[in-house]
Amino acid sequence: MRVMKFGGASLRDGAAIERSLRVVERAARSQRVLLVVSAQEGVTAQLARAAEEAVRGELGAWDALRVRHRSTLTQLDLAGDLLDRHLRELRAILEALQTSARLDRRMRDYVLSFGERMSARVVAAVLRKFGQAAAPLDAYDLGLTTASSQGEGALLRAPTRELRARLEAVPGIPVVTGFLALDPAGNLTTLGPNGSDLTAVWFGEAVAAEEVVLWKAVEGFMTADPDVVPEARRIPVLGRHEAVEFAVNGAEVLHAGALEPAERGGIVVRVADVAAPHAPGSRIEAVTPHVGPLGIAHRESVALYKETLSLGRDQGAQLAELLRELSEAGIEPHRASFSGRELVVLVSDDERTAAFAARRAPRATLERGHASFAVVGRRIGLDPTLPARVAALAARVGVALIPAPGDTSSASQAYLVPATALTPVVRAVHAGLFGATPTKESGELLPHPHRSAPSERSA
Ligand code: ASP
Ligand code: MG
């Protein structure tokens, strides 16, 4: 079975949905296909706003969601009442929220679930209109179970072999909701941004797929974000370890957790571009074929949260406690370390973090206005010459690098710069590391003359 996942951008509107499903139709001629779908682009964020507004007593966002989905149905020439049941259920929940004092995670996830649930219905209906048998399925009915403190995809019970049998029994193409699961108490949970990637690979594991294709609105993994570095190039093949490093260092191509089931199941994950369905995209295999720099990931706006340690108490326990409190406040720690008597955590630079730090002052301080970037590549972390090379490239544009907190992974080296200097620095580093690299006919990167091959020891 071939698993194909379509992200929000590839389902943005009626035209995008039809274009994406032509790709499915072609694939389904030669192979059985399992589809996993995201919400239409922007809908998850719209639902999150709707939930927050409902708690404040407003229902305007529901109307916007209804209009958006109705117009998708019109564009696709589908029955206007296809989503009425879901829209009514959503409205009833939002109305119930109006009498709640606050929005808890359980209710928020319930509201968020409508994006994927509705898009699965739309996608299945379009396939049927194309003359292709298809059935929408909610992933949480198929046994995907996560912890209740969801948001980032801690899977408790993965889909099993029975699931495989169930999917195989579906006449036509199963169209499964991404991003959604249940906790052991039966509440809906969500899997965090790009969570559908994770769903797709979990299902890929369950059905023993050889390949899972994630269709997105990007060419694939790139040597840098093309919005920052216009010369950025597609990376044709990379290893799982490096793909994870891109994700954890801020590249939004893929959900980092998606590569765990890929590893377990020996599944090749391919990121493909819906706008260029015949282009090869990026293949994520077990190992990156070349040693050395592959690309640069970045975060535009980060801050260093620092907190004084209490002496005489276990430092690790204090860090663990802080990380838990950050997570409860909805703040994702990107990297963390001890430095002397201090805990240092790299977080995103926003009002939520600022408020968290203010509540814990004077023990806590927040150093704002940074950006971070990481050079990613096989055995990069073991290359002792890289920091000096990167520092020299940054110095060419007059910027001094600040060391990023936390350990160096074997597949990346991370740095901080003033946020205003991110673009020139990333461009200079990209030009220095990748600028002169020609590409072969196949699109495969040739080894760069400066790429060093550090020892194999701890890779
Ligand atoms: N709809 C969710 C999001 O916007 C999950 C996904 O698209 O994979 O991140
Ligand atoms: Mg998305």
- Measure CA of the first residue to CA of the last residue in the chain; give whole Å: 33
Q: How far is the CA of 166 from the centre of ligand 1 (A)?
A: 25
151 lines ligand 1 (CB under 6 A): no
Least reliable range by pLDDT among 62-66, 338-342, 427-431: 338-342
For the 294-433 domain, the top CATH level (class) is alpha beta
**Which has the higher per-residue pLDDT, 167 or 136?**
136
pLDDT of 276-296, one tens digit each? 989 999 999 999 998 999 999
Distances (CA, A) of 46 to 40, 50, 137, 193, 199: 10, 6, 23, 14, 21
d(CA 155, CA 454): 36
Does 172 have pLDDT greater than 70?
Answer: yes
Span 353-393, pLDDT tens digits: 999 999 999 999 999 999 999 999 999 998 999 999 999 99
**What's at 339, amino acid-wise?**
S
Residue 146 confidence class, pLDDT cut points 50, 70, 90: confident
pLDDT at position 151, please?
A: 53
How are the residues of the chain apportioned to helix, strand and coil, as percentages rounded to the nearest 5? 40, 25, 35
Given a cut of 60, whether residue 109 has pLDDT beyond it is yes
Q: Tell me: the pLDDT tens digits for 422-441?
A: 999 999 999 999 985 444 43
Q: Whose CA is nearest to atom 9 of ligand 1?
A: 193
Ligand lying closest to the C-alpha of residue 218: 2
> Is 114 close to ligand 1, i.e. is its CB under 6 Å away?
no
Q: Ligand 1: which of 146, 177, 196, 215 to mutate, judged by most atoms within 8 Å of the beta carbon?
A: 196
Give residue 7's pLDDT.
Answer: 95
CA distance 310 to 306: 13
What is the C-alpha to C-alpha distance for residues 63 and 56, in angstroms, rounded to an integer? 16
DSSP letter at 220 equals S
Pick from 146, 179, 197, 216 the residue to mutate for probing ligand 1's pocket: most ligand atoms within 8 Å of its CB.
Answer: 179
pLDDT attached to residue 329: 83
Looking at residue 456, what is its pLDDT?
Answer: 32
**Residue 104 pLDDT more than 90?**
no
Q: What's the confidence (pLDDT) of residue 152? A: 52
Contact 306/300 with Cβ under 8 angstroms? no
User: Is the pTM value of this prediction over 0.75?
Assistant: yes
Atom of ligand 1 nearest to the CA of 194: 8
For residue 161, count other CB atoms closer than 10 A to its CB.
Answer: 10
Q: What percent of the chain has pLDDT over 90?
A: 70
Ligand 1 lined by 195 (C-beta under 6 Å):
yes
Q: Give, for ligand 1, the residue of 37, 117, 194 to mutate: max count of ligand atoms closer than 8 Å to Cβ.
A: 194
More confident residue, 241 or 453: 241
- For residue 62 and ligand 1, the question of a CB distance below 6 A is answered with no
What would the mean pLDDT of 99-104 be, rounded to a whole number? 88
Asked if residue 192 has its Cβ within 6 Å of ligand 1, the reply is no
8 CA → ligand 2 middle, Å:
5
9 lines ligand 1 (CB under 6 A): no
| C-beta 39 within 6 A of ligand 1 | yes
Which pLDDT score, from 0 to 100, does residue 328 have?
79
How many angstroms separate the alpha carbon of residue 178 from the centre of ligand 1? 8
- Per-residue pLDDT, 34: 96
Mean pLDDT over each residue of the chain, to the nearest integer: 89
CATH 3.40.1160.10 residue ranges of the chain are 2-217
What is the whole-number distance in angstroms between the Cα of residue 38 and the centre of ligand 2?
7
Per the model's pLDDT, the better-predicted residue between 313 and 236 turns out to be 236
Q: Is the CB of 8 under 6 A from ligand 1?
A: yes
Pocket flag, ligand 1, residue 196 (CB < 6 Å): yes
Q: Is there a contact between 293 and 377 (Cβ–Cβ < 8 Å)?
A: yes
Residue 18 clears pLDDT 70, i.e. is over it: yes
149 confidence band (pLDDT: 50, 70, 90): low
Separation between Cα atoms, residue 429 and residue 415, nearest integer Å: 12
In the reported structure, the alpha carbon of residue 212 is separated from the centroid of ligand 1 by a whole-number distance in angstroms of 17
Type and span of the H or E element at 212: strand 211-216
Q: What single-letter DSSP state applies at residue 380?
A: G
Averaged pLDDT, 439-455: 39
Whole-number pLDDT of residue 448: 40
**pLDDT of 449:** 36
Instruction: Verify whether ligand 1 is closer than 6 Å to residue 178 (CB atom).
Output: yes
348 CA to middle of ligand 1, Å? 20
Q: Give the Å distance between the CA of 195 and the centre of ligand 1.
A: 6
Beta bridge partners of 37: 6, 177
Ligand 1 and 7: CB distance under 6 A: yes
147 CA from centroid of ligand 1 (Å): 19
pLDDT at residue 158 in the model: 62
Q: How far is the CA of 125 from the centre of ligand 2 (A)?
A: 21
Beta carbon of 14 within 6 Å of any ligand 1 atom: no
Q: Which residue has the higher pLDDT, 144 or 336?
A: 336
Most confident of 72-86, 163-177, 194-208, 260-274: 72-86
Residue 205 CA to ligand 2 centre (angstroms): 21
Q: Which CATH superfamily is domain 2-217 in?
A: Acetylglutamate kinase-like (3.40.1160.10)
Mean pLDDT of 145-172: 74
Cis omega (within 30 of 0) for bond into 405? no
